[in-house]
Structure 1
């Protein structure tokens, strides 16, 4: 025995006009929202605008139902919220609205899509500053060369001159660099800041090997707690990148 969930794309597509690539995007996001990949199956695209039907096997029903109702009640895991936003963004781009319904036809989750109020964006603001991380890619044929800098899970992309790019190139996948330059920032209505571009003017190498000397000196200071830190070099690196403290 199984149950079905129906995701309706309203006012945009019919089963005959829904492009296959777009269908795949909707299906992938819906699969992330429902979870339980072994127990949830694509069943059909039905008429009524375009309605994606997901069939949920009996063993998976309780967990899928829990995910859906946690989302409706506002306490869903981050992965479910991200899947909801992904579906809603697709609807907005398609100038559509949507809804997730259950077997009885009741709307479990509405998707505002195009009707979602857009947050104001402020900017651009230019600010001199620096970025730190490992260079993982350099390339381009224009007058400005893109430089990809990895800082943990974040990839920053800066631009620089061919001459500076040649100087940075030997450090590809090497030590941590500090890139100096001017950033262009935007501020969302919810207070979040987003880096749009970063023009690199200079850089310096942050030699992580020197941290061993720093740790040795710290351990020789009486009354400190560095002797109790199992991996002090890692701790200092995390402090350097702003992930090791609360300040």
Structure 2
């Protein structure tokens, strides 16, 4: 065994006797995904002192690569990191990864409730632009959504300068986004603006007339004008 290339996942809140084989297998699978370097990392045993999942790595280069990957996955909320955090949250365990000198390499958050789920994708949101500011390379931009919620975005200084000309107007912004799901609800965590468009809202009377005059529409004979107005408002007309 590589005595100087050891890593231990220390699970607080349990012991080797309390950890079932099935659950141990899930933790080892998640840990293997987090570490990577599958041919160089070896499982040794589970020891006392909470439940300590002990591993060792073939050589210094692979050992350093495992540490770097683990920290990188944690910083980026990578899938293998979230897999471990999910298991810990389900069991209510605290955990950390330590080396052979008992130095903490990575400490996991203590979560005893539904784990927030983060998705990164191309996305878009729209609302009233009411804040463009900052003096750094990444300027904060805020939009007010239809339900009064705040959409937190970021833009380059050049993009922020363009957006500044449209304060208090309705805009739609698009770009790389992070969405947080918790308690069954999605919330925008952040959107990096890559493009935008100003949304022109129709005057209610103008929109009504356009719909009324449109060929082939069924609303000319509609007796309930209030229903029409409600439908127009639902389409974000003023």
Question: What TM-score results when the alignment is normalised by the length of structure 2?
Answer: 0.45
Could you say which structure has the larger radius of gyration?
2
TM-score by length of 1: 0.44
